[in-house]
Amino acid sequence: MRKDIKVVFMGTPEFACASLEELVNSGYNVVGCFTNPDKQAGRGMKLKFSPVKEYALSKNIPVYQPEKIRNNKEVIEILKNLNPDFLVVVAYGKILPQEVLDIPKYAPINVHGSLLPKYRGAAPMQFALINGEKKTGITTMIMDAGMDTGDMLLKEETVITDDDNLETLHDRLMVIGAKLLIKTLDGILDGSVKRVKQEGEATYTKMITKEMTKIDFNKNAEEIFNFVRGLSPFPSTYMELSNGKKYKVFKVEAIKDSNIDESVECGSILLMSKNSLYIRCKDGYVKILEIQAENSKRMDITSFLAGNKFSIADMFI
């Protein structure tokens, strides 16, 4: 019976919270939740709980928020006292040492947002979009001390369409991951799920930093399109005028044009009207669809251009 199976859950953001909710709703006995420490947020810099903490508290599940896991005797003692059958980790944001992974009776389970061994690491959804993948998915796996290198358990694929961005893909994989987690735990308990070694070329992703989010108009239109949607709506990409002004960009259209004037520099404004803005790139141009000026709000391009003006002479660097 699921209610007799004790689970310790480790996770922080909304993506993780969906899996925690599914565990609770499915009848598993979640005996404790580990999540990152509260952070200050907003103009008042008030402490903000993670989605996992908020949900856990609403269900009277004990919450633990250690600053670190490695070399933390208190954490080891807590986990041993909780005596979990499973340790479930979803977007926790901390590397777990082997002494933690060895504690659960059955296994430490991770829900990862890619089809392993592709896109191990911190930003699998972002880079699947940025690299123009046509499909991605969720992999559940047995955790080991490596970076997403453990044996795989179950996979579920989803097609990436041209209408997808990080938000839509995140939300879809969040639901898939939560459902697949339950199938995985049930399958381990009844013996129907088998461990499979990761085979094939592994690829790794790194944490997205602000320095990585600037649009490079020397790239192809399709590359820019994928880059923008891979980081939209958060943290979002940006473009910068030669005068230093920066504009966040949330949505673009890629237009390849073999007849484009090669004398026009990449980053130049090719065409501007009251409801359109076209910027030169390597193999054509990019049509800006959603934009945000500094200290302003996100707008469609028509609304933006009603109150903001560019010049054909302007250059995005």
- Second CATH level (architecture) for the domain 210-307: Roll (3.10)
Percent of the chain scoring above 90 in pLDDT: 88
- Confidence at 311, pLDDT banded by 50, 70, 90: confident
pLDDT at 268 over 80: yes
Non-local (6+) Cβ contacts of 37 within 8 A are 65, 66, 67
- pLDDT tens digits, one per residue of 70-101: 999 999 999 999 999 999 999 998 889 999 99
pLDDT for residue 41: 72
CATH tag, 2-205: 3.40.50.170
Q: How confident is the model at residue 299 (pLDDT cuts 50, 70, 90)?
A: very high
Residue position matching structure tokens 């002004």: 245
- Is 47's pLDDT higher than 90? no
How far is the CA of 241 from the CAs of 186, 248, 279, 298, in angstroms?
A: 54, 12, 12, 18
Closest CA to 308 of 221, 236, 229, 248: 248
What pTM did the predictor assign? 0.95
User: CA-based angle 239:243:247, to the nearest 5?
Assistant: 25
What average pLDDT score do residues 188-202 get? 96
Question: CA Rg, the chain, in Å?
Answer: 23
Q: Which is more confident, 262 or 154?
A: 154
Where does CATH 3.40.50.170 sit in the chain? 2-205
Q: What's the confidence (pLDDT) of residue 45?
A: 66
pLDDT in tens, 116-132: 999 999 999 999 999 99
What pLDDT shows up at residue 44? 66
In this predicted structure, the answer to whether residue 315 has a pLDDT above a threshold of 70 is yes
Arithmetic mean of pLDDT over the chain: 95
**CA-to-CA distance for 131 and 226, rounded, in angstroms?**
7
Q: Give yes or no for residue 263 having a pLDDT over 80.
A: yes
Mean pLDDT on 28-55: 89
pLDDT of residue 313: 81
Q: What angle do CA 227, 233, 235 make, to 5 degrees?
A: 75
Q: How confident is the model at residue 186 (pLDDT cuts 50, 70, 90)?
A: very high
As a whole number, mean pLDDT of residues 153-167 equals 98
Where exactly does CATH 3.10.25.10 map onto the chain? 210-307
| Residue pair 274/305 in contact by the 8 Å Cβ criterion | yes
